[in-house]
Amino acid sequence: MTLARARVVITGGTRGIGRALAEALVQEGSEVLVCGRDDAALAAVRRDLGVRALRCDITDPADVARLADVVRAELCGVDLLINNAGRQVDHDVVTGLDMSAARDEVAVNLLAPIAVTAALMPLLLASSDAAVVNVSSALAFAPAPRSPVYAASKAGLAAWTHALRAQLEGTAVRVVDVVPPLVATDMTVGRHEGAVQPEAVAAAVVRGLTRRRTRVVVGKARALAAIHRVSPALARRMMRDR
């Protein structure tokens, strides 16, 4: 995929992997619009990277519809959608599950990518060379017990990605799943030992896009994926204390 002059939308684009992707794609010559819910972070990424930045709650249908309108009006279409926004909360079903937090995780990690993709699909199909990138997680296939809802929502996203790819066969829209390991972001504070930097994930995604890959597995997630193919039980045991 040619990234120069590509019209890009990134959800959760103000920090972590999303911001690193925005910066990397700007360097490639892409025209980038990021969306998020933090006004200060949106202002910072607009100032620092020179990208468009839109306040948008991707769990709100009205905001998603407005996002599609803005993309149509300001970018005149979209070539690359990166569903990156994510939320991770630790849960213990023995001591009590926070259902409000669980619903928000599922809404952000699974339902929002489905909604945003559906809203932008007419614009993606109008592009001669387009891609939808879904940022999943190694926890989708080897769950960490402390994050059961996050793992379940990312597993759902992985299934959605595979089904979407099958539905879009024969079109100009490729579907790419990105599988990072533990990444040093605000969401993983306190667990950064051995974590990769967001910039490493962004660089891997850019390489994968330019090489027209449909799956980008980053860093230690490659080894875990290989182990999971041979012994799912061993992969799950490895993640037990994570």
pTM of the model: 0.92
Among the listed ranges 2-6, 51-55, 89-93, 159-163, which one has the minimum average pLDDT value? 89-93
> Domains along the chain?
7-238 (3.40.50.720)
Distance CA 67, CA 86 (A): 18
Contacts of 25 (CB under 8 A, 6+ apart): 3, 6, 8, 10, 32, 80, 206
* Structure confidence by residue, pLDDT tens digits, 184-233: 866 655 555 668 899 999 999 999 999 999 999 997 777 676 666 677 67
Does the structure show a pLDDT above 80 at 237?
A: no
As a dihedral over the C-alpha atoms of residue 170, residue 116, residue 39, residue 183, rounded to 10 degrees, the angle is -70
* Residues forming the active site: 150
Task: Note whether 187 and 88 are within 8 A (CB).
Answer: yes
Q: Which of 120, 102, 99 is nearest to 35 (CA)?
A: 120
Q: Which residue has the tokens 């449909």?
A: 214
Q: How many residues does the chain have?
A: 242
**227: number of Cβ within 10 Å:** 16
| pLDDT tens-digit readout, 88-124 | 999 999 999 999 999 999 999 999 999 999 999 999 9
Q: Is 41 exposed, middle or buried (0-12, 13-18, 19+ CB in 10 A)?
A: middle
